[in-house]
Amino acid sequence: IKKQDLLYQGKAKEMYTTNDPDILWVHYMDQVTALNGKKKVQMKDKGKTNCAISARLFTELREQGIVNHFIEQLSPTDQLVQKVTIIPLETVVRNYASGSFVKRYQTEYLQKFDQPVIEFFYKSDELDDPFLNDDDALALGVATREQMAQIRQLALKVNRLLSQIFAKMNVLLVDFKLEFGLSTAGDVILADELSPDNCRLVDLDTKQSLDKDVFRKGLGQMVPVYEEILQRLQKEEER
């Protein structure tokens, strides 16, 4: 397979077309951003760490029945994925209060929810990803009622599976963000990436952040913390 034109440059990844119209080439960059791109830093080895974490989690989810766009890893920083039309929604699942939830509702950090909380944000850099509900998504033509229901169901299933995977690593899955796309056949498919860039992860014993909050809050070196997550994942795989 051959890499062709740059299709899209995101905050942490570049997407290229390939000679196969149904396949995209993803390059994970050594870049980290926060505040919707306003804070941007280069970090060595960040790309390959996230690429490896994401590949493992997508593979694990596939084995557990979650259809997703991941095809294969090509090099430490590059992957092939199925081309989908991204639904412009950020689907956030929360198990414990953190981040914008705490800010919005002034609740206690890491307060446990009786059941997972699903929130949607409209993917729009110009609008700064505003909060939206299912009806708003329908009104904006972002997704159909059926697709929204499917997304909720998939998000909850991914939450159960990821929570289990991380629990075995002594890590609490606080919250995370998913993106879904539509295949050419019209199926809703899990896409984007799964890494400490879009999951909040906390060590069960120390409650230390093992995710991008290290960068957001200036808690120290971020890449070693991501590498710690990758190492724990690899250890679990070897069992």
Residue whose CB is less far from ligand C5P, 43 or 74: 43
Residue whose CB is less far from ligand C5P, 1 or 140: 140
Applying CB under 6 A, which residues contact ligand C5P?
A: 90, 92, 98-101, 129, 175-177, 198-200, 212
Shortest CB 207 distance to ligand C5P, Å: 16
Residue whose CB is less far from ligand C5P, 58 or 101: 101
* Distance, CA of 163 to CA of 215 (rounded, Å): 23
- Per the CB < 8 A criterion, the answer to whether 180 and 154 are in contact is yes
Shortest CB 18 distance to ligand C5P, Å: 26
Shortest CB 138 distance to ligand C5P, Å: 22
Residue whose CB is less far from ligand C5P, 12 or 52: 12
Residue whose CB is less far from ligand C5P, 54 or 98: 98
* Distance, CA of 213 to CA of 158 (rounded, Å): 22
* Distance, CA of 49 to CA of 23 (rounded, Å): 22
Q: Which residue is nearest to ligand C5P (CB)?
A: 99
Shortest CB 127 distance to ligand C5P, Å: 12
Residue whose CB is less far from ligand C5P, 33 or 72: 33
